[in-house]
Amino acid sequence: MTKFMSLFKQKERVEMGLQILLYTAFYTICFSILEKGAHIHYHTIEIWPDSHIPFLPIFIIPYFMWFGYIFAAVFWLLFYTKSTRECQICISSLVIGMTIFLLISAVYPNKLALRPHIFGTDIFSKMVAFLYETDTPTNVFPSIHVFNTAVVCASVLKSAKKRRAKVLNLLLSAAIVLSTVLLKQHSILDVAAGLLMAAGLRRGMEKVFGKEEEKEEGAFQTEGSFGILEMKQK
């Protein structure tokens, strides 16, 4: 029975992996369509402290590391951790939150007007210039960089066993969040909204999958008890 449940969980994890890949493709298509809405009137998202935050090109490193971090962390959660419940919480939160972001962008198109003129010739400034050329300062609220990082970071903290892994996870996540404002890619409002959405969705998903987990554990315990009784009867 243990072997069967192990195979069942593996199949379930693979299915979740395929679902997140399909959703990523769907999200990318929808986001690309929204980004092409040049004729749309955009609402500027910023508050007065944003202009006082320094511009630090070196933070392009953690900003770009976000792509690898999200992929590697989700892959690790799916195939190298024991808790299926934590995988469900993480992936469901990501899908729902990113869908909410698409809806906000469609209903309330928004933009940022904080980007500076880049005069530096160092490698970090050149990387930021490349980012500015390829990524428009539109549809920034809430920050998907921040939202995805917060959701994944929480799941890694719940699942990781080693203290070093947890510390590195926190440090990288904090650097990614800071990079969004230090590169003038997002306003403080975008960051706050991303963090709040991540916290709210995680709390909601914990309640949803928490009940199912209790039932699942109860079923396993009952089945195990029956097995012991059968052995005693023999």
- In this predicted model, what pLDDT tens digit does every residue of 124-140 receive, in sequence order? 999 999 999 999 999 99
How many Å apart are CA 219 and CA 223, to the nearest integer? Answer: 6
Residue 28 lies in a domain: no
Determine how many CB atoms are found less than 10 A away from the CB of residue 152.
25
For the segment 218-232, the average pLDDT, to the nearest whole number, is 35
Q: Residue 177 is part of which domain span?
A: 56-233
Beta bridge partners of 111: 44, 138
Question: pLDDT digits over 27-72, tens only?
Answer: 999 999 988 875 678 899 989 999 999 999 999 999 999 999 999 9
Instruction: Please tell me the total count of domains within the chain.
Output: 1
Question: What global pTM score does this model have?
Answer: 0.85
* 31 lies in some domain: no
Helices 84-107 and 144-159: crossing angle, nearest 10°? 170
Contact status, residue 185 vs residue 140, Cβ threshold 8 Å: yes
Is position 20 within any domain? no
Vertex 42 angle, CA 38 and 47, to 5°? 140
Please report whether residue 11 resides in a domain.
no
pLDDT tier for residue 233 given thresholds of 50, 70 and 90:
very low
Q: Is residue 175 part of a domain?
A: yes
* Residue 222: pLDDT over 90: no
- Whether 215 is in a domain gets the answer yes
The predicted pLDDT at position 232 comes to 38
Q: CA–CA separation, 128 vs 120, rounded Å? A: 10
Q: Would you say residue 217 lies in a domain?
A: yes
Name which of 145, 146, 141, 143 is nearest 110 in CA terms: 141
- Any domain includes 108: yes
